[in-house]
Amino acid sequence: MAPTQPERLSLTKSFGGWHGRYRHWSGVQNCDMTFAVYLPPAAEHRKVPALWWLSGLTCTDENFMQKAGAHRAAAEAGIALIGPDTSPRGTDLPGEHEAYDFGSGAGFYVNATQSPWSRHYRMYDYVTQELPALVQAHFPLNGREAISGHSMGGHGALVCALRNPARYSSVSAFAPICNPVQCPWGEKAFSGYLGDDREVWKQWDASELIAAHGSELPILVDQGDDDNFLRDGQLRPEALQYACSQAGVDLNLRMQPGYDHSYFFISSFIEDHIAHHAQAL
């Protein structure tokens, strides 16, 4: 069945292009979902490639579009930006809103298998199947895709690219959760969404996926060395670096002195990432 028409919530001109926010009913998530699309000026004349951006814990579609300073570079490169939300909304499951790192705003881009989360929390299928079909049907996109993200969304971007090796032309991440099976955020989320079998968890871990399957895609990762979540052991870029070195995967891990985990960090280097994707797209 063809995707339903998305309802436009707002439309704002930016760097000659248009930033729109939309709402639609998601059959995958069993709730209404909101997403954002930035179309560059070139989209008025031809179909353009798309860069997916997956955001981090507590974020919505609005954080990246408003704070990252990405519109100018995307406009110049002729690339659309697509920003999904980070979880289902309005489902009000028991305990869903009690913590910032599980439930609302914290979908972790997995397909939950445990009740009650499995009825709604299927962010992986949403961002790799349902939403791509919808935007392809309703926006001037040429079918070429790249993917990036931040923190939890960096984890999601890496996992989506590694699980779909022919799908994306390029992948990058800012401060991704590189080894969630070995960090507190990942252990909490995966046990709740996926159950207690750690072998199942490995299917959603970029470092484990690279160790098992490698990757032909070069990977660009920026990580601030003054990131408190790096110090807390949540991000573990060293695990990704080791997996890539063992598997012969081309990883460009750039440790950025003095930068933290914020959108100040992202906006400082987003033009490099868009250039990385533009070259591949």
Catalytic residue among 61, 205, 222, 227: 227
- From 26, 151, 170, 172, the catalytic residue: 151
DSSP 217: S
User: Is 250 known to be catalytic?
Assistant: no
Question: What contacts 109, CB < 8 A, 6 or more positions away?
Answer: 54, 123, 124, 127, 152, 153, 155, 156, 159, 160, 204
Amino acid letter at 27? G
Three-class DSSP category at 226: coil
* Alpha carbons 185 and 179: distance in angstroms, whole number: 10
d(CA 11, CA 27): 25
Which run of H or of E encompasses 51?
A: strand 48-54
Single out the catalytic residue among 24, 71, 155, 261: 261
Question: DSSP alpha helices (H): ranges in 150-250?
Answer: 152-163, 184-194, 198-201, 206-213, 228-231, 237-247
Which region, left, alpha or beta, applies to residue 190 given φ > 0 means left and ψ of -120 to 50 means alpha? alpha
- 232 catalytic? Reply is no
Q: Answer yes or no: 227 catalytic.
A: yes
Active centre residues (catalytic): 151, 227, 261
